[in-house]
Amino acid sequence: MRFKFIEENRTVLPAGRLCQIMNVSPRGYGAYRSRSISQSQRKNMVLLANIREQFRLSLSSYERPKMTEELKELGFDVGHRRVGRLMRLNGISVVRTRKHKVTTDSNHKFNIAQNLLNSDFTATQTNQK
């Protein structure tokens, strides 16, 4: 967490000064920068690519449980919490839309009230309009 903060703010202050502020050694920060990504991070990247592909193929309709089922059918050994976490962290979410329901019937046969005011709402006294 500290190394990530230093990495993001290197343009504001020198890395050495940020290491002092964050109470980490410059050698530790250098090791962090030269370290390759871990095996679990690699697996998450592969899994995320498949999640994005399945999400696209499902026309953005698969949520966590269905996505987990699809990934298991593809041969991935994943749990629903991991899939949910990866989807949440990467902004993959389903937006449900509803069909427009008409609630007003403008083609009715009832009497239509006349416009007596003609949009003139000014009155000289109270209770006149």
The sign of the torsion formed by the CA atoms of 81, 83, 85, 87 equals negative
Domains in the chain, number: 2
CB of 60 within 8 A of CB of 94? Answer: yes
Q: In this structure, are 56 and 23 located in the same domain? A: no
Q: pLDDT value at position 51?
A: 95
Tokens 């389903």 belong to 94
CA atoms of 97 and 11, how far apart (whole Å): 43
CA atoms of 90 and 101, how far apart (whole Å): 33
| Structural domain boundaries enclosing 49 | 39-89
Q: In this structure, are 24 and 64 located in the same domain? A: no
Q: In this structure, are 24 and 59 located in the same domain? A: no
Q: In this structure, are 78 and 44 located in the same domain? A: yes
Q: pLDDT value at position 65?
A: 93
CB of 115 within 8 A of CB of 107? Answer: no
Structure tokens at 56: 């696209």
CA atoms of 112 and 95, how far apart (whole Å): 40
* Residue type, position 100, single letter: H
| 64 found inside a domain | yes
**Residuewise pLDDT in 10s, the chain (129 residues):** 788 888 888 888 888 888 888 888 989 888 888 888 889 999 999 999 999 999 999 988 899 999 999 999 999 999 999 999 999 999 999 888 888 888 888 788 888 788 888 888 888 888 887
CA atoms of 103 and 73, how far apart (whole Å): 44
Q: In this structure, are 15 and 28 located in the same domain? A: yes
* Residue type, position 44, single letter: N
CB of 40 within 8 A of CB of 53? Answer: no
| 70 found inside a domain | yes
